[in-house]
Chain A
Amino acid sequence: TQLLEQSPQFLSIQEGENLTVYCNSSSVFSSLQWYRQEPGEGPVLLVTVVTGGEVKKLKRLTFQFGDARKDSSLHITAAQPGDTGLYLCAGAQMFGKRQLTFGSGTQLTVLP
């Protein structure tokens, strides 16, 4: 079974601060996705990273895929209250049916 560990599990910060969320595994993934989920809603895809070492930017969010494709990070610059939510990473299997394995999530709260 492929496991994805996310850290930290909970994060509460003030508006304007920077933060990094980590997603780690001992398994190699063909791609890794980051989702954000708000209460009462389903996860919404933020980004997919495919190539080892790849860095993608989405406004104030920067996503990095590890060189070995086993880990990823999400960095948010100058966090805003609207960034509050549950951030989930999900890795796609290298072979076979490419099922997604989700991390346990990081609950981010940005205080005004």
Chain B
Amino acid sequence: DSGVTQTPKHLITATGQRVTLRCSPRSGDLSVYWYQQSLDQGLQFLIQYYNGEERAKGNILERFSAQQFPDLHSELNLSSLELGDSALYFCASSTNMVGTQYFGPGTRLTVL
């Protein structure tokens, strides 16, 4: 158990819908990272927040957005969902901006 929690574990929805994925980092960690893992693209970095502020952006679509709240938990919002958005979404956390990342168990999103 990494100490990072993600909810829900599974999510099934339809095209065009919007979903929110939630992540609670390890106690004391200030950084939260979001990744997408699909069969054809592998593990892709989406975005990083540090202490409530966006720090780095990767291959995140404009339909996707994230935020980190004062209690340091984070949410990833995915809107106008497409079939190709079906993937595993992982959250990771680290103590500081560049520290070792500890991954949560992931949310499996299926878009029908």
Taking Cβ atoms with an 8 Å cutoff, the residues of A that contact B are: 33, 35, 40-45, 48, 88, 90, 92, 97-105
Contacts and interface: CB of A to CB of B under 8 A. Distances in A.
B98 A92 contact: yes
A40 B102 CA distance: 15
B8 interface: no
A42 B45 contact: no
A43 B90 CA distance: 9
Given A42-B92, A43-B103, A44-B103, A97 B56 contact: yes
B42 interface: yes
6 nearest interchain CB pairs? A42-B103, A102-B43, A97-B56, A98-B98, A104-B42, A43-B103
A92 to B, nearest CB: 7
Nearest to B50: A97
B2 A42 contact: yes
What class of interface size applies to chain B in its complex with A?
Answer: 20 to 34
B103 to A, nearest CB: 3
B80 to A, nearest CB: 25
Interface string B80-112: 000000000010100001101111111000000
A31 to B, nearest CB: 9
Most buried by A among B42, B48, B56: B42
Contacts of A48: 100
A16 B58 CA distance: 40
7 contacts: A40-B105, A40-B106, A42-B2, A42-B104, A44-B2, A44-B103, A100-B101
A77 to B, nearest CB: 25
A39 to B, nearest CB: 10
Nearest to B55: A97
Nearest to A6: B42
A100 B98 CA distance: 9
B102 A41 contact: no
